[in-house]
Chains A and B, each alone.
Chain A
């Protein structure tokens, strides 16, 4: 665990305007925002979002950035709708293009990746845990980097796979990126995908596609997913200090 220290800088709240909304799956939408003061960030970082009611009541939540850091005038937040949530239902049911929210960021100096980092990279995502990993994948693609990268994305069914078409297109380039699906409640749809939960044998097979053991592993999703996937990575011979995790709060 030796990341370069981040220079301390004051993170100020600022308005950001929604300029596009894209439906990803039945429960997931992407919101493209233009912050009043655009900022650079690193793939894997998140922002804090703040909503304010007319009486001054505020709610804050953290959302990972899905877009690549290479298009920094806008940032994309991909948000899963939590039925008993407070902020995600606002995004899904109320927010429209032209609305303004407040955010501050970027936040997080550990779960970050750059094309300048050495060595093959393995990404393990569960459901909406793919969001910060997608920023890394898009960053690699935007920079035309050759560094080998593989993603195992676990989802219930084919229709629950966030960024499915984009991941398939990137996989089809055969440029060193491997996008692999692990569907937990449906049979696999493509050669090379799996119809089961992430396990050690699966991680070992995907590492074989990378060509050499990963220098870095990023695991993101629910706590249950992260525990399962991190244990699978350990079982496949990856050492604990290589593995960075991000667990979604609840």
Chain B
């Protein structure tokens, strides 16, 4: 259904980007050069000496790292496009951190104990991701953004980064990963958002 009088503001070809940017934009997304901030509550300001990260299988803690210990794990860089369910996409973002592959190896979990995880955060948020989506270098616990510590507004000191899913899955202020036997919906997934969240299939809300 065409909207009377609407032509749209299509972005002219960008001199900085030789390739066709529109091919990198999932359906319904709009390119932004800003880095918008979205979160469910106040921005927590976490103190590094008291920061910790825990991997659990069900209720049982398997491994825990302090900030120093996390930074001593093998570091990986990831250059990726990110896509927020609120319709903005940002291209070519640069992150550094610990890949989930390396993290689980360090936890002695070379073979994942269950097929799903719930990521938990220091402000009580959670989000679910299939383990397969976290492995193979596709996800990390990000510790730096564009060469700098991650600002608190953007989830610092550490956030989960799963860039091939809508960005709410990349939980800010992440405090741990919990292996679960079933795909258990997290905070937004219990509130109408899609259980998986693939931007290329426009899985924004339940039933999409």
Contact = CB atoms under 8 A, between A and B. Distances in A.
Interface of A: 1, 3, 5-6, 8-11, 15, 48, 50-54, 57-62, 86, 90, 94-95, 99-102, 107-111, 219, 223, 227, 230-231, 233-234, 240-241, 243-245, 247, 249-250
Contact of A100 (B1, B32, B43): B1
B42 A6 contact: no
A219 B37 CA distance: 14
A3 B86 contact: no
Contacts of A230: 41-43
A198 to B, nearest CB: 13
A99 B192 CA distance: 29
B32 A245 contact: no
B8 to A, nearest CB: 5
Contacts of B60: none
Nearest to B10: A57
A48 B85 CA distance: 11
Most chain A CB within 10 A, of B36, B86, B153, B185, is at: B86
Nearest to A241: B124
B19 interface: no
Interface stretch (B93-101, B112-120, B128-136, B200-208): B200-208
A250 B36 contact: yes
Given A62-B87, A249-B36, A243 B191 contact: no
B2 A52 contact: yes
Contacts of A110: 40, 187-188, 191
Interface of B: 1-10, 28, 30, 32, 34, 36-44, 84, 86-88, 123-125, 153, 185, 187-188, 190-192, 204-208
Contact of B28 (A58, A219, A233): A58
Given A95-B5, A245-B40, A249-B88, 15 more contacts: A1-B40, A1-B41, A9-B206, A10-B207, A10-B208, A11-B192, A60-B30, A86-B9, A102-B3, A110-B187, A227-B42, A234-B42, A240-B42, A243-B42, A245-B41
Given A61-B87, A107-B192, A110-B191, A52 B6 contact: yes
Contacts of B30: 59-60, 86
Contacts of B124: 1, 241
A223 B32 CA distance: 16
A12 to B, nearest CB: 9
Contacts, number: 131
Contacts of B6: 51-53, 59, 90, 94
28 contacts: A1-B40, A1-B124, A6-B191, A8-B192, A11-B192, A15-B1, A51-B3, A51-B8, A52-B2, A52-B3, A58-B8, A58-B28, A86-B8, A90-B3, A90-B5, A94-B4, A94-B6, A95-B5, A100-B3, A110-B187, A110-B188, A223-B36, A223-B37, A223-B153, A227-B42, A233-B42, A245-B40, A250-B32
Give the top 8 A-B pairs by smallest Cβ distance, nearest first.
A109-B191, A10-B207, A8-B206, A230-B42, A94-B5, A223-B37, A86-B9, A51-B3
A5 B185 CA distance: 10
Given A5-B191, A9-B206, A62-B87, A247 B42 contact: no
B168 to A, nearest CB: 11
Contacts of A100: 1, 3-4
Nearest to A102: B1
A128 B208 CA distance: 29
Contacts of B185: 5
A108 B192 contact: yes
Contacts of B84: 249
A125 B88 CA distance: 23
B40 A52 contact: no
